[in-house]
Amino acid sequence: MVDGTINASGGVVDLGGAQVRHESGVVITLKRLLVEPSYVILEFSAANGSSDEVALAGDTNQGIILEVDDPAVTMTYQAPSVNETLELSSGEVLEAEIVFLGVLPDNASTMDITFNPGPELDGDVAEPTIEATGFPIAADGG
């Protein structure tokens, strides 16, 4: 269940542990969206059920895209200083809080998250494109 009240000055949206499963074996569990005046934090976990190492944000400039109201507002992923590409070894589970810079509109109603939106780069680490789309978010009083 998605529950919460948010507006541009802040709030929390419980994403209810919604899961997105990718054919590669990666499972992403969305937990909460924390809204601040100039950024948003997404809390999630990712489990790598594949036999390969994977990166969830392979291209750190566009590694993850958060779009609000399809795609009226695109928020910019701010890579962490450690594990910038959010790499997971086979069998590893990652608990993460990632930051998106930008202002969430007061009238925001849905969000889409895309991990690795661009083409997979050549390299030793798999970069599957994983999409979680159409999540409702309560805005400006619910």
Whole-angstrom distance, CA of residue 130 vs CA of residue 141 = 30
Whole-angstrom distance, CA of residue 56 vs CA of residue 133 = 16
**What are 24-34's pLDDT values in tens digits?**
899 999 999 89
Q: What sign does the CA torsion over 110, 12, 97, 78 have?
A: positive
Residue-level pLDDT at 70: 62
Residue 97 has a CB neighbour count (10 Å cut-off) of: 12
Cα dist from 67 to 29, 72, 102, 110, 127, whole Å:
18, 7, 11, 8, 20
Contact (Cβ atoms closer than 8 angstroms) between residue 9 and residue 37 = yes
Whole-angstrom distance, CA of residue 27 vs CA of residue 40 = 22
Domains of the chain: 3-136 (2.60.40)
**Global confidence as pTM:** 0.84
**What are 50-104's pLDDT values in tens digits?**
999 999 998 655 788 888 886 678 888 898 889 989 999 999 999 999 999 988 8
Whole-angstrom distance, CA of residue 139 vs CA of residue 142 = 5
Q: 135 pLDDT band (50/70/90 cuts)?
A: confident
